[in-house]
């Protein structure tokens, strides 16, 4: 029971390694605690329980804001919303449980082999979590290593799952160092300690590498934050108020590119007042500028979450392709869920992939909408053509929670992985400009209406990650696990 309590607390504490707290070393402490507990686990069943409890603590503490969307804005009864979040977090905890069982069963008590196995098991389970049933890779441990962490230099090479491999491996190495220091032959601690230093120093060196280079003239951008309350956004009597707010924000801008956030117009475009879009265009086009609008569009019986352009450039559109289950579409056999929750526009269609970047103001802008930027490999189809990334989001569903800073941290990894600036226009926050090195150069305060004006330079070229995506991680993780399994079978014989 004591070990289980330690595992639960370590999992919950791991959330402080993520934004908004950003205590990145805690990732090693919390994972290292789990690995140390696994070393003393008497059976695979106990290892599974430890991994599950660790994961349950991590996800309940880290994504508990889902309750706000289900209960406060989705209308689900409080008890059912709490139960739904608990069950979802229990499902997510199965993946740390899987990693723990693999590590416990296959470890060889050789420091370097166990470190590789820890990285392979943990990163492999996170990759699986990010893929299975359309995936939910939120709180991937690699996100904790955004700048100023020296390990951030590895992101353009191996991506966020590669960072997870490194974090888990270093956590296991730290456990080996502690174990060696407590043994009579404490001099053996130097080898794993040296490995930790080499990986960290290499990451710091890689941070100095400029994988991509500027292209074109700097673009004057205005990213708009409308701050429309989620509980009022869809009320019919409020529609004209929000349309006037959008128009007023656009009309005040003089930037070459103006961006409204996701679904900023809270009706289908065909339901807009006559002449509304033409009036927006009239404020933009005469001065050679362009506007990107987030709104729902319809084609026949299909509804899309779209971003379309108005202005001097030819009309273009991007429609969201990776939809959120239970929020934007109903998985098979889950129609009952919508009888318990009231979620508007919850029967959407995928936009399809690939979709070309938007050609605006001399730049190629790859758009992704809200949740889509959690899936880094899915953004790579727009490269190397795209010179900028643009995310339109509406996180008002989650209130004043950790969802906003966590999402901003995710976007910082996308900028690092691709070597491109990432622009974010959001309803309530965090509207920001992120540079190719993952640094946030400017951001608006959350829950305020306003415009973020910045001059942004596009970038060209390719990082290693954009060339090989997650395939090195997949092959290495499978190779390490299979080698460890084969070795175990040979020893057993």
The answer to whether residue 378 is catalytic is no
Paired tokens of 166 = 């490194």
Find out whether the peptide bond into 111 is cis, omega within 30 degrees of 0. Answer: no
DSSP string, 419-450: TS-EEEEESSS--EEE-TTS-EEEEPPTT--E
Nearest to 451 by CA among 228, 286, 250, 291: 250
Residue matched to tokens 């060696």: 180
The answer to whether residue 320 is catalytic is yes
* Catalytic annotation, pick one of 30, 233, 370, 417: 370
Contacts of 131 (CB under 8 A, 6+ apart): none
Q: How far is CA 402 from CA 138, 213, 230, 480, in A?
A: 12, 33, 17, 35
Strand 432-434 relative to strand 440-443, pairing: antiparallel
Find out whether the peptide bond into 9 is cis, omega within 30 degrees of 0. Answer: no
Buried b vs exposed e over 391-415: b needs ≥16 C-beta within 10 Å?
A: bbbbbbbbbebbbbbbbbbbbbbbb
* Catalytic annotation, pick one of 233, 281, 320, 372: 320
Instruction: Supply the DSSP symbol for 17.
Output: G
The answer to whether residue 370 is catalytic is yes
SS3 state of residue 253: coil
Residue matched to tokens 């006037």: 244
* Catalytic annotation, pick one of 126, 262, 372, 417: 262
CA Rg, the chain, in Å?
A: 24
Contacts of 121 (CB under 8 A, 6+ apart): 98, 99, 100, 102, 103, 106, 168, 477, 481
Report the distance separating Cα 316 and Cα 47, nearest Å: 52
For Cα atoms 189, 193, 196, give the angle at the middle one, nearest 5 degrees: 155
Q: Count other Cβ atoms within 10 Å, centred on residue 182.
A: 9
Catalytically active residues are: 262, 320, 370
């Amino acid at each position: 029971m004591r070990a289980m309590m330690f595992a639960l607390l370590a999992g919950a504490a791991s959330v402080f390694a993520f934004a908004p707290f950003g205590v990145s070393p805690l990732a090693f402490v919390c994972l290292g605690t789990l690995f140390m507990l696994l070393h003393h686990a008497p059976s695979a069943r106990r290892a599974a329980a430890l991994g599950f409890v660790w994961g349950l603590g991590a996800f309940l503490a880290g994504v508990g804001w889902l309750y706000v969307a289900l209960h406060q804005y989705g209308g689900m009864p409080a008890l059912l919303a709490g139960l739904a979040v608990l069950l979802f977090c229990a499902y997510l905890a199965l993946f740390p449980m899987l990693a723990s069982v693999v590590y416990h069963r296959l470890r060889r008590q050789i420091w370097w082999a166990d470190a590789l196995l820890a990285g392979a098991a943990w990163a492999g389970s996170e990759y699986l979590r990010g893929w299975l049933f359309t995936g939910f890779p939120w709180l991937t441990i690699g996100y904790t290593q955004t700048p100023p962490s020296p390990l951030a230099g590895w992101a353009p090479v191996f991506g966020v799952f590669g960072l997870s491999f490194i974090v888990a491996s270093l956590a296991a190495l730290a456990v080996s160092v502690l174990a060696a220091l407590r043994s009579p032959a404490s001099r053996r601690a130097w080898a794993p300690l040296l490995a930790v230093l080499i990986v960290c120093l290499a990451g710091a060196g890689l941070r100095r590498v400029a994988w991509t280079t500027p292209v074109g003239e700097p673009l004057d951008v205005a990213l708009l934050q409308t701050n429309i309350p989620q509980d009022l956004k869809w009320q019919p009597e409020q529609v004209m108020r929000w349309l006037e707010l959008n128009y007023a924000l656009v009309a005040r801008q003089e930037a070459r590119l103006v961006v409204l956030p996701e679904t900023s117009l809270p009706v289908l475009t065909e339901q807009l007042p006559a002449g509304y879009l033409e009036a927006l265009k009239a404020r933009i086009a005469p001065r050679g500028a362009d506007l990107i609008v987030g709104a729902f569009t319809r084609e026949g019986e299909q509804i899309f979450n779209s971003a379309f352009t108005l202005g001097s450039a030819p009309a273009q559109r991007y429609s969201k392709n990776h939809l959120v289950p239970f929020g934007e579409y109903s998985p098979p056999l889950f129609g009952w869920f919508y009888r318990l929750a009231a979620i508007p526009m919850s029967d959407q269609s995928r936009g399809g992939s690939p979709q070309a970047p938007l050609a605006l103001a001399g730049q190629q802008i790859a758009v992704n909408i809200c949740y889509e930027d959690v899936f880094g490999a899915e953004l790579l189809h727009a490269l190397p053509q795209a010179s900028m990334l643009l995310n339109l989001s509406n996180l008002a569903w989650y209130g004043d929670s950790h969802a906003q800073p966590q999402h901003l941290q995710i976007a910082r990894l996308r900028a690092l992985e691709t070597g491109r600036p990432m622009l974010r226009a959001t309803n309530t926050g965090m509207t920001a400009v992120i540079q190719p090195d993952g640094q946030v150069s400017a951001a608006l305060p959350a829950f305020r209406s306003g415009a973020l004006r910045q001059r942004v330079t596009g970038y060209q070229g390719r990082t290693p990650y954009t060339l090989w995506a997650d395939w090195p991680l997949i092959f290495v993780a499978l190779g390490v696990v299979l080698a460890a399994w084969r070795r175990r079978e040979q020893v057993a014989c």
